[in-house]
A and B are shown apart, each in its own frame.
Chain A
Amino acid sequence: MKVLLVTYWELTQMGGIWTYVKQLADRLMALGVEVDIMGTNGAKNEVYIRNLNRSFSKDKVWPMLQAKLNPTDLPQFTSDSLVAYYELNRYAFEMAAAYLGVDHYDIIHAQDPVAAVAMKRILKSYKPLVTSYHGALARETFYDAQTSNPQLTLPAYLQTKQGRYFLSLEERSAEQSELILVSSYWIKSTLTDLQVPESKFRIIPYAVDIPAYRAQAAVKFRQRKPAGKKVIAFTGRLEHIKGVHILVKALSSLKRIRSDWVCWIAGEGNLTEDLRSLANDLGVGADIVFWGKLDNIPSFLRHADIYVQPSLQDTQPFSVTEAQLAGLPVIVSGTAGMPEMVQPEHTGWVVPPENAESLSALLNALLQDDATRAKVGAAAKAWAEQHRSLEEMVLRTLHVYQEAIQLGGQRI
């Protein structure tokens, strides 16, 4: 079997999704499956097949696309600059992917709706398509739009041309896929809301390579935690959707009650400086350490006492699973796929989303209860070790490919 794992996005900047793609590819290859990985390299403005070292520079077609699809001759096409930008980039991606070749695979596994739509547009003959929905594209663009227009609501956004455009990519890709892979019931619900039939879905949670995790965790982290302090940790991209600003606000309230803690944040993103400023403005600048991007999260987490995932929207963050494997009690926002990851008060806690006061109150309670933290952390670790095995994820995914090929055979 020859499989193409393809994403429209930048492969190595996808955070947990890159981990997913890489682990899936490695394990499939170990089972004798031929796997190519295609994605974008933003720095070089090229689309590439990572394992084959083949690439196509978008510069070869970009000037032509931009000149021919210009605002004077196609005012409606360019009326929404974000949509036009996405479209132009997708067309360049399509040409690059076609040049590199996509027709010789037995199955194409798209990692996002943009790549799925692109693949179906360029295939010359029928090929079965499986699409993974790692996030909800239209909702994510809504959160981006909301940063410049705080009054905007999701229903209102989804009525705009931009909202309908992103929804249409989700709809089209779901319609064109034989089967759809999701990691959580929440992400499935965003698609069933779009009338995607139940029969297309296969739910396979994200997994972690547990032996590799343990090996990384065994490495000593470069700094000890300050004496007498407990560490509240977050790991992930520092972007609005991750809600780290909510955590910073909660810590500001917490500081008025107690100071036996520090917060360690590992990750980088476009909000790094804004978050530093917010922390300083709220008087917790000295209590939060921004570590930047770290290569070894399991080792970092060994020093943590509580893990917080304050995201505004998140499907099934790897960071939470990693924290659970570290034996940490986790607190997640009660939105999107996150509540599915914890059993409240048994393996973690769920707080109302975007509610800094609730988060602060829970942190205060947990910081003074060592026994509960230890008990919940141990239960979380046992649960993650039992339910997040990579072997099972890969075998189930391979089965989905076989099913999709069979479904495709019936269609021809």
Chain B
Amino acid sequence: MTLLVPSDLYNRWFSTPVSTTHIEVDYAVMNELMRKLPKEYVFPDPATMHILTSEKN
């Protein structure tokens, strides 16, 4: 059986945490991802944000 939990439990992956209580995610999958992804893993990718927020254009 799939145990669904609020996606806000995983806000630590997001540099700008946004509350999305209406979205539920699979607890087992998310825990496995928590275990497998590096501790410093973050969205959005800081290297991309550097380009998107730079002055040029």
A residues touching B (Cβ–Cβ < 8 Å)? 60-61, 63-65, 67-70, 73-74, 76-77, 79-80, 83, 87, 90-91, 95, 98-99, 101, 103, 121-124, 159-161, 164-165, 168, 172
Contact = CB atoms under 8 A, between A and B. Distances in A.
Contact of B25 (A60, A90, A103, A121): A60
Contact of B38 (A65, A79, A124): A124
Contacts of A80: 52
Contacts of A83: 48, 52
Contacts of A76: 49, 52-53
Given A91-B45, A95-B37, 7 more contacts: A61-B29, A67-B23, A68-B7, A68-B11, A77-B44, A83-B52, A87-B45
Contacts of B36: 98-99, 101, 103, 122, 124
A113 to B, nearest CB: 12
Contacts of B25: 60-61, 64
Contacts of A101: 36
B47 interface: yes
Contact of B29 (A63, A65, A99, A103): A99
Nearest to B11: A68
A161 B43 contact: no
Nearest to A68: B18
Main secondary structure of the interface of A (DSSP, over half): helix
19 contacts: A68-B11, A68-B14, A68-B18, A69-B18, A83-B48, A87-B45, A90-B45, A91-B45, A95-B33, A95-B37, A99-B36, A103-B36, A122-B37, A122-B41, A123-B38, A159-B57, A160-B57, A164-B56, A165-B52
Contacts of A95: 33, 37
Interface string B14-55: 101110101101100100110011100101110111011100
Interface residues of B, number: 30
A64 B20 contact: yes
A67 B51 contact: no
B44 A168 contact: no
A165 B51 contact: yes
A103 B41 CA distance: 15
A98 B33 contact: yes
Contacts of B20: 64, 67-68
A83 B48 CA distance: 9
Nearest to A161: B57
A63 B48 contact: no
A67 B25 CA distance: 12
B18 A64 contact: no
A263 to B, nearest CB: 42
B16 A73 contact: yes
A314 B57 CA distance: 29
B47 A99 contact: no
A122 B53 CA distance: 24
Contacts of A60: 25-26, 29
B23 A70 contact: no
A123 B17 CA distance: 23
A69 B43 contact: yes
Contact of B47 (A73, A74, A172): A172
B45 A121 contact: yes
A103 B56 CA distance: 37
Given A64-B25, A65-B43, A122-B38, A70 B52 contact: no
A73 B18 contact: yes
A122 B22 CA distance: 27
B23 A77 contact: no
Contacts of A74: 16, 18, 44
Of the candidates B17, B22, B26, B38, the one having the most CB atoms from chain A within 10 angstroms of its own CB is B38
Contacts of B44: 69, 74, 77, 87, 91
A293 to B, nearest CB: 35
